[in-house]
Structure 1
Amino acid sequence: MGRNRAIIIGASIGGSLSAMAVSPFFDEVLLIERERLVENGEPRKGVPQGRQAHALLGIGRDLISEFIPDFSEQLRQAGCSEVDQCLQLPNFTSSGWRARTASSITSFGFRRPLLEMVIRSNLNRFANCKIINATVKSLVADDEGKAILGVSLSDGSVIAGDLVIDASGRGSQSPRWLEQLGYPVPDEQHVSCFMGYASQLVHLPKDVLEPGTAGLVAMPYPGHHRGGLIIPIDNGMHMITAAGMMRDYPPLEQEGLLDYLDGASTPLLGKVARASEPLSNIAGYRMESSRLRRWHLLDRRPSGFIATGDAVASFNPFYGQGMTISAKGAAVLRNCLATSEDDVSLPERFQSAFAHFVELAFSVSGMADSLYDGAELKNVAPPEPDQFAYLGTLSEMAAEDPEVSVALVAAHFNMEAQGLFTDRMRAKVSTWSQATHARVVDTNNIPAPV
């Protein structure tokens, strides 16, 4: 295998970042996108979740910044909102309001198409990267079927490449294509909690939100299947999202949506939504399950092909992991290419290294979703109750202890739980567990910062 041309199927976030990752190692990088891309910030058909609320975790922003050093500044220049996650976005959970306090954990708000546009615009910095509009129909292998040599397009033409990267998303056809070549398909794990979302762009009049806040979060949790959020996105707009679990889907008409939000764990969500001014129609999105394709466990695979991003794992959007996983895949691929010139072993090395991160993310979101009564698990062992005891205690503590509140947000945004298991944190949990706590939850009033 040489390093003349890399072919990337899909030019969304995962595909664009993968192109930046492989650009230094190949003479040419060709992204094949079936949709005609119009960079006007409007949602596109190939990204059905594009009209829903999105979150880019802190580690995801850092990973993208490895390819786009001024990424955060570009988001600001595009009008994206930046807020203190622990202070400005009050969060009502199964344990009540999280303690609010100033922190260094900031997040950007944006519409998904705007983020894609910002990222793709940076491909111009990589002179050997090119996007073409076409549809891939199959993989092309050598006569022995041991190596992928390119892709076949819907018009019958063939494009040769030394490495084919599937970044086509959840609807990836790669398992079928490889099966046609005589290869096994990857095992799949599913955690089904039958989630549904309904979102709308809105304008919030002045003084609708509590002073010092920029939005409101009250997502569903086991035992309470209805919830949602109101968050700042970009250029002065907010987005309202209603979220339902276990087939308790939010309606797609105005009054029904508002009534649904009234049923969230805090009535403030519906109250703020009713004071908003709609700027768009309501867009719905449903997703049956989180899914992990275990590409790394294949006992036989061709050289010259890898899968990344949602083609490997797609998650309940509630946890905001998807775009970060795509960014991590790009970083892992870059490192695999940089540390070894053994390209025959690249697919196995990449899928194994990527799996370490993906499986951790899947276990976190899947474990939480498995707690819903009626959730369906496929090839996933149900978690033991004591696995949740420690984290459940931390969640209760976070309603009163700002240090714990920040630690939980940091663990989520960094996809790294070590900060929750320090000696100091364990001591806090031990002390808390030995005391009796009178729990009083005021759903109608947001707590003041501490």
Structure 2
Amino acid sequence: MTTSHQDRRALRDMLRKSGVLTPDWGAAFEVVPRHLFLPEVMWPSTEEGHTAVSRIHDPDGWWHWANADVPIVTQWDDGTHLGLRHGVLATSSSSMPTAVFSMFAELLVFEGAKVLEIGTGTGWCAALLSARLGERNVVSVEIDEEVADTARRSLAAAGWHPEIVVGDGLLGSPEHAPYDRVLVTAGVREVPHAWIEQTRPGGVLVMPWGTHYTGQNPLVRLVVNDDGSAGGRFSSAARFMHLRSQRDRRVTRADYVPGDEWPGDTRRSFTDLPVDEVMDDSGYAVFDFVAGLLVPGCVHAHGRTRSGNRTMWLYGLDGPSWAAVFFDEEYSLESRVFQGGPRDLWDEVEAAHRWWTEQGRPRHEEFGLTVTADGRQEVWFREPAVLLPRSEAAPAEAGG
């Protein structure tokens, strides 16, 4: 147990040093330890992937990961997964503490503020908010009844009783509105206007927002206006599980390029764009975010050939368009490009990269999002009046 206390102090000191654990959240951190909201078996995110850690069979490992700054999966495959081996799709988790307190910093709560949380998960965030604001000021919505029940039990055992609502988070919780703050702890691609309608003018919504192109969803802070619109800037990059109704459908190469041969109408070309400019294994690269904004309705995947060279596949969600790029890393020669379907997806990615380079390689903080009073999403560059350019071949999609 001594080691667990040391690990928790080390986590607290790291969060303070990084600046995300501000003095106004210090007391809540101390009285709401994360481990109270973690299951007996959990899957921390490590360099090797997700490995099950059991509190019974590996107590030292369990305590270590409970106090580590990593996300921890607590549910796979919407609860259908059984056993210790990880499942296919992570569907509920305890977010890494750095991400939690970064979101709190953007939320800017105040004494007596009423907060709506979308995505209860383990209940840790709801407990932290309760400790800071009082449990009567916290409403949390969870779509999964089993997850919500587990969170309720953990919260009660820890001495907290905020309002936990089982339902579709897209609808918010109108019966408890209005709110001063809305915190969304799942990735969002389209902002439901219900969240804005249930927030007081001047109120703030904080959420991870992203496109289909990548699993990256930087935090955005939206301020609600008197006319029913809301807008604000992006901040740090992040990766969150998406809202259930906004997950991408799973696509494979066989959906677009069946068989072992290239289709007869395949267009062949070359590119001299270096692989490191368009592929980043960290998942937090700025260009991935920008490509998603400028090449809407597209997902991409990475891979390697048998010889070890990196490849990129692009798939259009609006039809049969696809592209494959085989990067020549050994000799730094032009890389081979294959494209099919009505859109030239790789050409769109190259155009996005040219635009980004010409603008001085802007970072996340130079972009912003507006949700209009009629629910349209508009992404802008540096100023709300400057909307992003878009490809004529790209589909009309939120965020474009």
With the length of structure 2 as denominator, give the TM-score of the two structures: 0.26
Q: Report 1 or 2 for greater relative contact order, CA contacts < 8 Å, sequence distance ≥ 6.
A: 1
With the length of structure 1 as denominator, give the TM-score of the two structures: 0.24
